[in-house]
A and B are shown apart, each in its own frame.
Chain A
């Protein structure tokens, strides 16, 4: 069997289950080390079943991943801690798969999936956030050495302090218009000249970093895609980022509404009529958002993806902010308190098990990270509704001639 299409047609849920049972028999989770089990799972093609054979998959339909995950979970098998390595799984991997050389795919995808190598994303810059293509980090080719020399500053980098590798976009031709002179690289975070500094946020925690790049040398073999094609490659990454942010499945009264509803039921003295009305409105909106996400999921399973995905991040950002704001108010004097202002460096962002003040402050980032709500509304307006773009005068100007 050579063509991926044939393989996709051939692999069924039953065949996957047979493979899962073979894996479990050969590597009983109770008697196997965590990483050894994950390596065996990857090599059996059960890591991400829709990936090609030899790269952790079996070219099976993506929807069958759930069958594998459920069976392994029931057997008590360890997982690869997807929340800790979310950037690698959600953004780096699909981009490497789409644009990488065979050698890059074989080198990077296995340790990425197992979690031996954590990834981060060096995209945003202090001067280029929503206007990402305006970025100024420079990469200049040292032809004699076959290496690129990178100088610049990145910001909002989650996991930079734990990452071994980064996906990086840098400007390789400032004389071209801003979208054309960009190239995409895989950057070694341990290379000389990479400096990571924690960036403390309004929560008091340093979940993100600033990354300073000074004369960092990247071999040309770690370039992803053609020189000057970095914007097209980056769009693949960004589309996958938004899918992963909006695609979560939550139960009724799951998510941020849960602690508010629980507090309301357990503590009658907190109840006022004004808060009741706001809470019921938000409870209804959270339930409708859940149904909208479920409908989107059913559309995907039925092979009819709808444009609703473009909007789910907007909905969750707004709801998280409104609900967490209500929660602080509901709690009365307790809402005046905060858990801990000391500088801490969490490995993952987690809203559960935190107090209302943290949730309120952290939710402010939901309408900024992964594309601001304003940018996403433009995308919905232009791509879904077909409204005309605003006039722009920066598309054909050389990057070096743009106002800064």
Chain B
């Protein structure tokens, strides 16, 4: 019988190009110099987890904020493939910068809005000088119903827009210059410092991607799109975000595997390196296999998004269903195989475990994405 899903037009390119490898080298050396674990922990303890200087270099000087934005709109005119490489490296460093939220999710929403106001904002976003964050819960998944929009209680009144409502668990909101708010009358750009906007930081599981509750009480904003356009733009952004999150998860898993292998080679117990015990070797060999597979899945998602492949939604769902589990398992193995030191605050393993676990809820759980696979592949539930 004919498979029900749309066939791929061309085989996906699952390798890294030379340009992508150059971009990786640049981002990796920046992070090696400017984003070490003690620094991340210091910021967390100071109560300001984001690193604005790191963001400035990464987003403004290196121009990565605008990778997904067309050149004529001030961006780099690159694609999801390059953004995926940046996210791999940011995952590998557990870097506290709002890349996924501003450079991916907000950028895709603004690209989907396609009006003069959105275009102008996209230029600002691409420059990296202002951070844009969608006022949506981080758990919002492609294919899931959108949360109830905030209400525009000012409609028809002379004063114009007056947005009111609450959105839970908004990632990176405290770093935002501009919030993108879905209201019943459309999509709005609301300055984070505007009157009537309150950000309440939450104590988040993931220390490196802070969450806040966004409360709007009669806030004014610029309307960017009508409700239907806004919903379509958000749906597209969630698809891209989920597909590219797989690359962040790959980066997390890679760091955990590499660190753990290095540790068990050097750590001696019973007069042997613990890495010579078969029980540990087999666990790490299986983990390596999972990471190699996660790389193929994440690359497939990035390439399918970049080329607009007809089966991109299926490829993204497969990547999310697979990679989030691999990242969590890699981080869990990292903690376990480091023994006692893996349970401490000063060893960075916990930063990766927390990021991996939070990422497994972000943009849809593996279970949600398996449900999407069931739809795309016509394998219905009972």
Spell out A's residues near B (CB within 8 Å): 252-253, 261-262, 264-266, 268, 271-273, 276-277, 279-281, 283-285, 287-289, 291-292, 294-295, 298-299, 302, 304, 306-308, 311, 314-315, 374, 377-378, 380-382, 384-391
Contact = CB atoms under 8 A, between A and B. Distances in A.
B364 interface: no
Interface in B280-338: 280-282, 284-286, 288-289, 292-297, 299-300, 318, 321-322
A273 B370 CA distance: 13
A287 B284 contact: no
A294 B14 contact: yes
B159 interface: no
Interface string B237-279: 0000000000000000000000001001100000011011110
B128 to A, nearest CB: 32
Contact of B377 (A261, A298, A315, A389): A261
A283 B382 contact: no
Given A292-B293, A388-B276, A298 B13 contact: yes
A268 B295 CA distance: 35
Interface of B is mostly: helix
Contacts of B377: 253, 261, 283
Interface of B: 1, 3-5, 7-8, 11-15, 261, 264-265, 272-273, 275-278, 280-282, 284-286, 288-289, 292-297, 299-300, 318, 321-322, 367, 370-371, 373-374, 377-382
A385 B284 contact: yes
Nearest to A262: B1
B288 A291 contact: no
A279 B14 contact: no
Interface centre among B277, B278, B367 (most CB of A within 10 A): B278
A299 B295 CA distance: 13
Contacts of A268: 380, 382
B1 A280 contact: no
Contacts of B285: 311, 377-378, 380-381, 384-385
A248 to B, nearest CB: 16
A127 B378 CA distance: 49
B297 A387 contact: no
A286 B8 CA distance: 17
Contacts of B278: 374, 378, 390
B264 A315 contact: no
Given A284-B318, A385-B284, 13 more contacts: A262-B1, A264-B379, A271-B382, A292-B293, A292-B297, A298-B14, A308-B292, A377-B282, A378-B278, A384-B285, A387-B261, A388-B275, A390-B277
